[in-house]
Amino acid sequence: MDKGKKITDSETVIDDMDDNNCWWWLVQKGTAATFATIALFAFLVRVAVSLHPYSGAGNPPKFGDYEAQRHWMEITINLPIQEWYRNSTTNDLSYWGLDYPPLTAYQSFVHGIFLRFFHPNSVSLFTSRGHESYLGKLLMRWTVLSSDALIFFPAVLYFVVVYYNRSSRSRKSDLAWHTALLLLNPCLILIDHGHFQFNCISLGFTIGAVAAILSGKDLVACVLYCLSLNHKQMSAYFAPAFFSHLLGKCLRRKHPLLEVSKLGLYVLGTFAAVWWPYLYSTHSILEVLSRLAPFERGIFEDYVANFWCASSILIKWKRLLTTESLKLLSFTGTIIACLPSMVQQIKTPSNRGFLYGLLNSSFSFYLFSFQVHEKSILLPLLPASLLAMEEPSTFRWFMHFAMLSMFPLLCRDNLVVPYLALLALFTLIFYAPGQNRVRENNYFYYYLGASTTRLILSGSFILHIVYLTMHPPEKYPFLFEAVIMNVCFSQFVLVTLGSNIKQWMLNKPVKLEMEKKLI
C-alpha cells in the first residue's frame, strides 16, 4: 500500500515542506490517507451534483437517459433473460430498448432489485413508465454513486499506486494532485451524476485494465478490458491501443504465438462468461448484436465536435452518400487515423507510449467513426487525465473544450450551475497553490503562442455567455451550436496531432531525457 513512500525521504520531505503547498498534510500519513481524503471529497462533490436535475426530468413522453436506465431496470427484473433484447408485446424496443451489451443488462438487473426492495412502484412492469418521484430519484442516484464508489474509485487507486511506484521521481504531492484530477473530472461527474449514465463502470474497468498493463499483468488487463467492452461497446475506442500494445509486447517474447493465444483465450473466456445466456443459438446472438449497432441513426446526431459533423457545414454527407458508403468511409477514416499510433506500439511497446496510444486511438474513433455522441468525449478524456502529470497544460486545454462541447447538452438538462461550479473547481484544483508545475512543454505554446491561446480561451468564455443569454437568428436556429462544435473540433484536432507526434517522439529516448533534465 505504501510503495509511494520508498522514494528517498530527504527529498520528499523538503519538497513537501514547501510553505504554500496545500497538499502537505494530506501526504503526511501515506498514500491510503491521502486517497481516502480526496475520495471523500470527490464523493461529496458527486452527491452534491446528484441533487440537481437529471436528463429529461418532467419531460414526457420520452424523457431522457434517466428514464432509459430506469426502464432497463424495469425490463430486466420483470422479463426472462432471453427476452431482454427481443421485441415483444411486453418489451417495446422502440421505447428505450436495451442497446448496450449484456453486462449493462446485468447491472440494471442488480440495481432493479435494489429499487424494487425500497420502492416497488418505480420499477413495476408497464405502470412505471415515466416514473418520477423523490424516492425514485434518490434511489436511482444511489445506484450510480455506489457503482462509482465500488468500481471507479478502486480503479483509480490501483492506477495511482502503480503509476507512482513506477516513476521514481514522483513526489507525494504529485500523487495527491493527480488523484484529485482523476476523481474530480468534471465531464464524467456531470454526465454520470447530473445527466444520468453509468460511464463510471466501463471507464473504471478501463482504468483498471490500464493499471494492470502498467504493472505487467497482461492477462488481468485483458479480462478487465473485456468487462469494460461488455458494459459499453463504446470502450472499443480503446481497442486499437490495447491490441497493438499487447501484440507488440507478445512479439518481443520467446514464444509469440503462445502468448497471443493465451491472451485470446482469456478474451474469449470473458466474453463467453458474459454472453452465456445468449449462446444457445446464433439467432439470439445476432439479436443482441443488432441492438448494439444502431446504424439506422445516421452518421451523427445533434451537434458533435467530430469530423463528419464539422465538415457537414460544407459537405452534406447525409444527402450525398448512402448509409452503406458512409459506413465504409467512416471505418476507413478511423483506421487511417489510429494506424500511426498502432504501428508505433507494435514496433516499440512501452508504458508511456501505451497511454499516448490510448489517447490517439480513442480520438480517432471520436473524430471519424460512425454515430458518435457528444458524450463520447469522455473516452479520449480518460487517457488524457491519466497523462495529466506528463501533459498538464494539454490536459487542462482539452478538458476546457471537452466541457464546452457538452455545454449545449448540459444546458438542455438544466445543469448550468453545476457545470460552472465544477469547471471552477477543476481549475482551482489544477492551479492548487504550491504545485510548481511550470513545465510548459506543451505544443500549444510552441505552435500557437501565449497570446493566441489566451484569445481562444477568452473567446470560449464569451461563447458560454452568448449561448446562455442570446437568441440565434431565426434563419439559423442552431448557429451557436455549430460555432461551439467547430471551435471544439479544431482544438481536438490540435490535441490529436500533438499527441500523435508526442507518441512517435518517444522513440527517441535520449533526446527526451536531455530535454527533461533541462526542464
Partner 1 sequence: MGMGKQKLSSKQVHNSCSPKTTTTVWWYFLVSTCIKVLLFPSYHSTDFEVHRNWLALTHSLPLSQWYFDETSPWTLDYPPFFAYFECFLSFFASLVDPQMVHLQEGLNYSSNTVIYFQRVTVVLSDLSLLYGVYRLTRNMDSRKQKVIWSSVIWSPMLFIVDHVHFQYNGFLIGILLISLSYLEEGRDLLGGFVFAVLLCFKHLFAVAAPVYFVYLLRHYCWGGMIKGFSRLLIMGGAVAAVFAAAFGPFFYLGQIEQVIRRLFPFGRGLCHAYWAPNFWVFYIMSDKGLAFMLRKLGFDIKTPAASFTAGLVGDSSPFSVLPQISPIVTFIMVLLALSPCLLKAWKNPQPKMITRWIAYAYTCGFLFGWHVHEKASLHFVIPLAIVAAQTPEDARHYFLLSIVSCYSLFPLLFEAQEYPVKVLLLLLHTILMWSGFSAQFYDGAETARVLTSRTKKKIDQSGSKGSSSAGLKKGGFAIGWIDRNYLVGLVVVEVWGQFLHPLLLGDKLAFVPLMLISIYCSLGIMYSWIWQLRSVVNSV
Nearer to partner 1, 47 or 470 (CB): 47
Residues of the chain by 3-state class (helix, strand, coil), percent to 5: 75, 0, 25
Nearer to partner 1, 188 or 310 (CB): 188
Nearer to partner 1, 110 or 138 (CB): 138
Is 471 in contact with 345 (CB distance < 8 Å)?
Answer: no
DSSP 143-191: HHHHHIIIIIHHHHHHHHHHHHHH-TT--HHHHHHHHHHHHT-HHHHII
CB of residue 145 vs partner 1: minimum separation in angstroms?
A: 8
Using rule CB under 8 A, residue 125 touches partner 1: no
The C-alpha cell 445506484 sits at: 143
Instruction: Determine the 3-state secondary structure of 454 from DSSP.
Output: helix
Using rule CB under 8 A, residue 140 touches partner 1: no
The C-alpha cell 451524476 sits at: 193
Among 3, 11, 47, 331, binds partner 1 (CB under 8 A): 47
Among 40, 273, 313, 470, binds partner 1 (CB under 8 A): 40
Using rule CB under 8 A, residue 29 touches partner 1: yes
Q: How many residues touch partner 1 (CB under 8 A)?
A: 42
Using rule CB under 8 A, residue 145 touches partner 1: yes
The C-alpha cell 446528484 sits at: 50
Is 363 in contact with 492 (CB distance < 8 Å)?
Answer: yes
Nearer to partner 1, 78 or 427 (CB): 427
Q: Using CB under 8 A, which of the segments 28-36, 64-72, 109-117, 167-175 binds partner 1?
A: 28-36
Instruction: Determine the 3-state secondary structure of 372 from DSSP.
Output: strand
Nearer to partner 1, 110 or 417 (CB): 417
Cβ atoms < 10 Å from Cβ of 232: 24
Using rule CB under 8 A, residue 19 touches partner 1: yes
The C-alpha cell 535520449 sits at: 510
CA–CA distance, 167 with 351 (Å, rounded to integer): 11
Instruction: Determine the 3-state secondary structure of 300 from DSSP.
Output: strand
Cβ atoms < 10 Å from Cβ of 461: 11
Among 9, 296, 324, 474, binds partner 1 (CB under 8 A): 9
Interacting positions 400-429 with partner 1 (CB under 8 A): 417-418, 420-422, 424-425, 428-429
CA–CA distance, 337 with 359 (Å, rounded to integer): 12
The C-alpha cell 491472451 sits at: 263
Q: Using CB under 8 A, which of the segments 131-139, 277-285, 289-297, 393-401 binds partner 1?
A: 131-139
One symbol per residue from 429 to 468: x for binding partner 1 (CB under 8 A), - otherwise; what is it?
Answer: x--xxx----------------------------------
Is 21 in contact with 433 (CB distance < 8 Å)?
Answer: yes
CB of residue 30 vs partner 1: minimum separation in angstroms?
A: 5
CB of residue 379 vs partner 1: minimum separation in angstroms?
A: 25
CB of residue 157 vs partner 1: minimum separation in angstroms?
A: 12
DSSP 323-367: HHHHHHHHHHHHHHHHHHHHHHHHHS--HHHHHHHHHHHHHHHHH
Query: Smallest Cα–Cα separation from 391: which of 381, 402, 401?
Result: 381
Nearer to partner 1, 136 or 333 (CB): 136
Nearer to partner 1, 401 or 426 (CB): 426
Using rule CB under 8 A, residue 36 touches partner 1: yes
Nearer to partner 1, 326 or 432 (CB): 432
Nearer to partner 1, 39 or 305 (CB): 39
CA–CA distance, 312 with 334 (Å, rounded to integer): 17
Q: Using CB under 8 A, which of the segments 91-99, 133-141, 398-406, 495-503 binds partner 1?
A: 133-141
List of residues contacting partner 1 (CB under 8 A): 2, 9, 13, 19-20, 22, 24-26, 28-30, 32-33, 36-37, 40-41, 43-45, 47-49, 51-52, 134-135, 138, 145, 417-418, 420-422, 424-425, 428-429, 432-434
